[in-house]
Structure 1
């Protein structure tokens, strides 16, 4: 399992809220017959994951080495990890988004993947206004993650979908053989903009 920088304009509180959610999700998903290794950014001691398993901070090189030996990547849906998992041909199972950019990535992948986990992950964040200030969206994601961490029904359903995804592995389809996260960002933005335009045209046609 890979947890990225845990960065968010809402500050360290957002990262701690997210790790509390992830800790509960892992408890729901974990199968003792499966060996799980966790890599995350400790941010000089600012973040701790209580998951009952070893947690390491890996360099980029060490992470790629670990990636080459794992069967499935479980990760927050950050662009860099998606690209690396795709390039390595590794099956990928997403955790919930930890910030607004990852919400957008989830929406993009929901339109490209057969995994029902992706659209499930986007739903709780649908009411966040895209035109809102970045800091406001960051806090909104934080508070949704706080609520989800207390929602037993959500945790149970995530565990069901995640286990199904592990049993039916899929390499992430980010859209092309990208060389870096910035290329994925451009494609995600273009894809979502095209969908918004199509929705607006449909709405106008219905109104007329």
Structure 2
């Protein structure tokens, strides 16, 4: 999720950027503060073991080079990636079918593998190369918000496609991805996420392209 993209400008307008802080420091602190607000699920909660087992299965399938931390939490957020390498997953995912749970976790892993955090940071640094002060952020706020939103859309669809390919490799079909979207409920477009219908349509296109590729024997 990309809630911090929108919240960043509010934080700056409220004077929360320390004197002389650059954009990288502000973004890292924003993520750290958001991460600290999550309530970690008790390790005695049986749901934690279920989510961790699915994550271990996923990691075994993709063998990522970078170290990735999983935090199982409670609260309203279903899953999110912070600081480019911390995946937050809700303990409630334990009640989802395994394929759907794996899709959600693989989606977040896609954000890590494709370095979406770094790419978003580069966009912010392009517009705010120096100290984060209203004099430097106010003039670019509108255009940066638009571009950050567009990049967030691209990254969400990219993470969906990554998750779909990983699940295929694990022998899990398209229905798991579709079920994950339906389980979460049909969502409209937001500033940071394309709506459910757009995401499903994008995955169906990926499915068709994969079928065509296999038909060609590639």
Same fold (TM over 0.5): no
TM-score by length of structure 2 reads: 0.25
Over alpha carbons, which structure has the higher Rg?
2
TM-score by length of structure 1 reads: 0.26
